[in-house]
Amino acid sequence: MIPGEFTYHRPSSVAEAVAILVSHGDEARPLSGGHSLIPMMKLRMAAPEHLVDLGGIADLKGISEDGGAITIRAMTTQHELIESDLLSEKLPIIRETSLLIADPQIRYLGTLGGNVANGDPGNDMPALMQCLDASYVLTGPDGNREVAARDFYEAAYFTALAPEEILTAVKIPTPPAGHGWAYEKLKRKVGDYATAAAAVMLSMTGGTVTSCSVALTNVADTPLYAAEAGDILNGSTLDETTVGKAVAAAEAITDPASDGRGPAEYRTKMAGIMMQRALARAAERASA
Amino acid sequence: MSDIEQIPVTLTVNGKKVQRFVEPRTLLIHFLREELNVTGPHIGCETSHCGACTVEMNGMSVKSCTVFAVQANGAEMTTIEGMANPDGTLSALQEGFRQMHGLQCGFCTPGMITRAHTLLKENPNPSEEEIRMGIAGNLCRCTGYQNIVKAIQYAAEQLNQPETQEAAE
Ligand SMILES: Cc1cc2nc3c(=O)[nH]c(=O)nc-3n(C[C@H](O)[C@H](O)[C@H](O)COP(=O)(O)OP(=O)(O)OC[C@H]3O[C@@H](n4cnc5c(N)ncnc54)[C@H](O)[C@@H]3O)c2cc1C
Ligand code: FES
Ligand code: FES
C-alpha cells in the first residue's frame, strides 16, 4: 500500500500555501493531519500530484475567544480540542465529540480543519459545527470569505471549498452559560465511524426550551442540520408527544446508505434514537 | 528512479540523529524499517487501524503507517528499541508485560508498549477505564487485553513508588 508519487511542498505561511494551490489547480491538495487523505492515497483513491503540507504554518494553530465567538484555527488537532480548558468550559460538546472520534493516535494528528473540509459524511465534526451554527473561514487568492457550516456541504466529498482555497479557521458563536449539550454516537467499536449520531444544543428556562438545534452524522451523503426538529422542540417542555414529532421530522430528512453498518431503515431509526438520547442528556445538563 | 525530487529528512531516533534523502511518498514506517533498520515498529494492517506501527513522535503516539517521513522532518522519535533503561535493564513497562503475561505472540507488543509509554507520561495514574480507552488504537489478537491492562497498571505502580522515582533521578 504505497501512495502514488507527488511533489511535496511545505509552505510557512497561508499566502504561500494559497499561491502553490493557485499554480497547480486541482492537481494540488492541502495535507493537514493526513488521517483521511493518506489512507485514500494508499488505496490510490486519491492521487494528488502536489501535496501542500500545512504543518509548517504557525498561524494555523490555536483557540481563542473574542467578541462572543470562539475561533479555532484549522490545524488545531482533535487531541488539542480535548485538552483545551477554554473549550471544556465554554463549549464542552466539542470535547465530548472529539473523544468519540477514532482513537488516541489518530486524534494526536487529525485536525479540526481537515475533519470539516474533508466532506466525508462519516466525519463527526461537520454535523456538530452545523448544530453550533459555526462558520468556516476560507482563504483564497482574493482574501477571506466565510461560509456557514449549514451551507457548506453539497454531496459526499463536494463542498463549497474551491481548489485554490484553504480553510483557515472555524468560528463558533459562544453559547450562553448554562446551556445543555450532548453528542450521541452509535458505533460498532471504538474507532469506527458512526452508524448514526446526533448533536443537540439547547437552552431552557423554567422547564421550557428557549432555543434548540439538532444535527445528524452519517445518515445522508452530507451532514444534516435538522432545522424543523429544532423548531418543533423550541417552546416545548420536551413532553413525549413533541419529542416524538421532532424525532419523526429528523428521521424524515435522513437518506442513509445500506452498508456494513446496517440497512438504511435501521440507520434512520438509530438516528432518531441517538437524537432522543442526546435531547434527554442535554436537558439534564441544562440549568433550568 | 522517478524524477520527483528527493527530500532531506533529519530525525532523532532513540536519541541518535540520522539524515537521509527520501522520496516524498515514503511512509514513516517504511523509512524506519527499511532505511534505518529500526524494525521494532511492526506493519500489521497498513490501514491505520491496528496500532502495531505506533511510535512516539514529538511526545505524541502516532501510527507510522499513516505519516509521511517528510512530515516527520526534525522530529524526536522513540520506538520500542528506545524503551529499555539506559543501563540496558527492562523498563517498568517492559517488566510489567513480562510479569503480567501481557503478550502471547508478541506482534502487537512494540506498539502497545510504545503507546502505553506515552499514555503514562501524560497520565501517570490512569484508571482501568483510562488505560482501556488509552490503548483503544492498538489491537491485540491474542491476549484479550486483560493482561495488557494489568501490565500497564504494574508499570504505573512501579513508576509511582518513591524509591524508583529517586533511583530515576
Ligand atoms: C481508523 C480511522 C478512524 C477514524 N474515525 C473517525 C471518526 O470516527 N470520526 C471522524 O470524524 N473521523 C474519523 N477519522 C478521520 C480523522 O478524524 C481525520 O483526521 C479527519 O477526518 C481529517 O483530518 P486531517 O487533519 O487528518 O485531514 P487530512 O487527511 O490531511 O485531509 C482531509 C481532506 O481535507 C483536505 N484539507 C485538509 N485540511 C484542509 C484545510 N485546512 N483547508 C482545505 N482543505 C483541507 C485535504 O486536502 C483532504 O482532502 C478516522 C480516521 C482513521 C484513519
Ligand atoms: S500498521 Fe499502522 S495502524 Fe496497522
Ligand atoms: S500478543 Fe499476539 S497480537 Fe497481541
CATH number at residue A230: 3.30.390.50
**Is A258 part of any domain?**
yes
Q: DSSP character for B35?
A: I
What is the predicted pLDDT for the residue at B167?
52
Residue B1 has pLDDT above 90, yes or no: no
Local structure of A74: helix, strand or coil: coil
Structural domain boundaries in chain B: 7-82, 92-163
Whether residues A68 and A143 share a domain: the answer is yes
Architecture of domain B92-163: Orthogonal Bundle (1.10)
**Is A2 part of any domain?**
no
Mean pLDDT of all residues belonging to chain B: 95
What is the predicted pLDDT for the residue at B148?
98
Residue A73 dihedral angles phi and psi, to the nearest 5°: -70, 150
Domains B7-82 and B92-163 share a fold: no
The rounded Å distance from CA A41 to ligand 3 centre is 28
∠ CA B66-A114-A77, nearest 5°, is: 75
The rounded Å distance from CA B48 to ligand 2 centre is 5
pLDDT band at B162 (very low <50, low <70, confident <90, very high): confident
Q: Are A94 and A81 in contact (CB under 8 A)?
A: yes
What is the predicted pLDDT for the residue at A198?
98
CATH number, domain containing residue A48: 3.30.43.10
Q: Name which residue sits closest to atom 4 of ligand 3, judged by CA.
A: B140
Whether residues A157 and A65 share a domain: the answer is yes
**Is A119 part of any domain?**
yes
Q: Which of A35, A56, A77 is the last residue of a domain?
A: A56
Local structure of A136: helix, strand or coil: strand
* Shortest Cα–Cα distance, A38 to chain B (Å): 6
Of A7, A42, A104, the CB nearest to B4: A7
What is the predicted pLDDT for the residue at A209?
98
- Rounded to whole angstroms, what are the CA distances from A191 to A59, A124, A139, A264? 30, 12, 31, 21
What is the predicted pLDDT for the residue at A1?
86
Ligand at shortest distance from the CA of A107: 1
Of B24, B27, B136, the CB nearest to A103: B136
Whether residues A128 and A98 share a domain: the answer is yes
Whether residues A167 and A90 share a domain: the answer is yes
Of B23, B66, B119, the CB nearest to A35: B66
CATH number, domain containing residue A121: 3.30.465.10
Express each pLDDT in B55-106 by its tens digit. Answer: 999 999 999 999 999 999 999 999 999 999 999 999 999 999 999 999 999 9
The rounded Å distance from CA A92 to ligand 1 centre is 21
Local structure of B37: helix, strand or coil: coil
Mutate to test the interface with A, among B43, B62, B135 (most CBs of A within 10 A): B62
∠ CA B150-B153-B154, nearest 5°, is: 85
Q: Tell me whether residues B46 and A8 touch, CB distance under 8 A.
A: no
Positive or negative, the CA dihedral A251, A254, A260, A265 is: positive
The rounded Å distance from CA A25 to ligand 1 centre is 21
Identity at A217, one-letter amino acid code:
T
The phi-psi region of residue A286 (left if phi > 0; otherwise alpha if psi is between -120 and 50; otherwise beta) is: beta
Whether residues A136 and A219 share a domain: the answer is no
What is the predicted pLDDT for the residue at A99?
97
Whether residues A192 and A270 share a domain: the answer is yes
User: How many structural domains compose chain A?
Assistant: 3
Q: Tell which CATH classification among 2.60.120.650, 3.90.550.10, 3.10.20.30, 3.40.50.1470 matches the domain B7-82.
A: 3.10.20.30
Q: Name which residue sits closest to atom 36 of ligand 1, judged by CA.
A: A114
Chain B residues with a Cβ under 8 Å from any Cβ in chain A: 2, 4-5, 7, 23-25, 27, 30, 46-49, 51, 54, 60-63, 66-68, 70-71, 115, 119, 133-134, 136-137
Residue with cell 408527544: A241
Whether residues A25 and A35 share a domain: the answer is yes
Residue B137 has pLDDT above 70, yes or no: yes
Residue B151 has pLDDT above 60, yes or no: yes
Whether residues A194 and A165 share a domain: the answer is no
Q: Which residues of chain A have pLDDT under 70?
A: 288
Express each pLDDT in B4-41 by its tens digit. Answer: 789 999 999 999 999 999 999 999 999 999 999 999 99
Ligand 2 contacts CB of residue B139 (under 6 A): no
Q: Are B66 and A38 in contact (CB under 8 A)?
A: yes
Residues facing residue A278 across a β-bridge:
none
CA A71 to chain centre: 14
Measure the CA–CA gap between A125 and A114, rounded to whole angstroms: 10
Q: Which of A124, A150, A173 is the last residue of a domain?
A: A173
Closest atom of ligand 2 to A105 CA is 3
Local structure of B13: helix, strand or coil: strand
What is the predicted pLDDT for the residue at A2?
93
What is the predicted pLDDT for the residue at B163?
66
Q: Which of A173, A189, A217 is the last residue of a domain?
A: A173
Domain of residue A108 covers 58-173
